[in-house]
Every structure is written in structure tokens, then in C-alpha cells.
Structure 1
Amino acid sequence: MEQAVSHIPADPAAIRHALLDPLSLPEWNEAFVAITGPDDPAVGVRYELKVRPGLSGHLEYTAIEADRIELSWQVPGFHETGSWVLGEHNTVTHAFEQSGPLAAVLRPAYRGIAAVRLDRLAHRVAELSRAA
């Protein structure tokens, strides 16, 4: 399991908004090329997913709570379950676990990626705040 914690200087509602905007996830998660499905996230709704290097699969929210958002996504040979926990003082904890033969091959490339994702989330939230 990979995990990181970061302070994101933003309103928790803005952080939740970025995490709960499924169609814009590719704008700040470089692994995702495209996501199609409904604009409004709901637990169990399946989104079609394209990832680098051109694999197709699906993504779904498995939990949407006030302080916790969980996602699961998979493509052939790779499955990831992850969580984003919003804590006190604008801390966000991101953790994920991967399985499958492709995940085993890619494991070295994913070391430290939880912190990278938190940084990208912080940048996305800042972009959205500037645009508002």
C-alpha cells in the first residue's frame, strides 16, 4: 500500500469538488487519458476509462462520505483501490493499493506517487479557485 499526507490550503468543499468531478480527473491525473460517464458521481456508477498507454477499463466511486472518497479502477492486468481522506486543518491523506500482473511490473514506477497525486490535486484545486 502506498500512502501520503499533505496540507492543501483550500476550502474542504473545493477539495471535494475536484475529487468528485469524475470527467475532469484526467486533467490532473496523468495516468488517465479519458473518462466518460455521468457528470454527477454516485457510488457504484461505472465510468469508461482510458489510461496510458491506451488500455481501456472502468472506474467507479466506492464511497462518497463527508470526509472520505474512495475510488476503484481497473484495466486488464491492473486493479487499484484508493481513498482520499479529508482531515483537520486541511490535511488530505491519499492511500491506494494495486493488484494484478501489470501492477506487479509497474510497482517501482508507483513508489511515491501518492504524494505526487496530492500535489497534483492541490494544483487542480488552486486552478479551480483562480477560475472562480
Structure 2
Amino acid sequence: MNIELVKKFKDALAMELKEADRVPAELSSFPFGSCEETSKMLALYLSDNDISDVVYTRNNTISEMSGSGVHYWVVVDGTWVIDLTAHQFDECDDDFIVSQSSDFHSNYELESAHIADINDLDGFGSNDISKFYKKLTIRLKNT
């Protein structure tokens, strides 16, 4: 797993969120409520950079947590958990997680896994996320 590639994405995402003229509503309170779109973009970026067996996953809590419900993250090679938004929850102190074993993620069970596709970034007739992602990838190429 290329942890440096994940860090590069995370840092570029933080800069784009800070400097963008317009941030899509789904990302405006990052990390809160932005796990699905962030995971889709990260999975797409990793796949586009020759990381194989990348999916973004939808997961449901199986324990009592402050943010119980659905949470998304990326899985690589069926073993690496990559979560750039886990720090929205009280139970997670890490800024981001790249791990093959995570106590935080053991509180969830997998509901579904999806291969990232640029066409999945936008829903409900909006293309805000794909526009944001394109600007993000330009930033990534320039770093």
C-alpha cells in the first residue's frame, strides 16, 4: 500500500477545501458528513494511480457509538482500510487512518463495496463533486 500517495491526496484535499472558490455542499463541513464523497474520490484517485483492488465501502455500526449509523471508507487489497474522515467521530483520535487493523473500524460491518467510477461522483443532476475532483487532480499533478 502506498501510504505516501494517500497522504498526498489528503493534503491536496485539505488545500483544495481551503482555497476553492466553491466547495460542494457534501464537502462543506469536512470531515463531517463527507465520508461517502471523500471515499469515492480517494478510491478513484488511487485506482487512477495504478493501485489495484481498490473499493469504497458502505458500512453500518454494530456497536453503540457517538456517530452510529452508516460510514464509508476505502479498502485496498481487501485488507488495507483507508479512512480520511474517521476523525469526525469521538471514538477516533487519528487525523486519518491507513491500517490493516483498526479498532475503530471493527465497530462496523460491511454493507456493500463499490469500484470507483468518475460517473458515480455526482448525484441528483449535480456535477459539483466531479468538478471539484477535477480541480483536485490538477492540484495533485502540480505537487
Identify, as 1 or 2, the structure richer in strand: 1
TM-score, normalising length from structure 1? 0.31
TM-score, normalising length from structure 2? 0.30
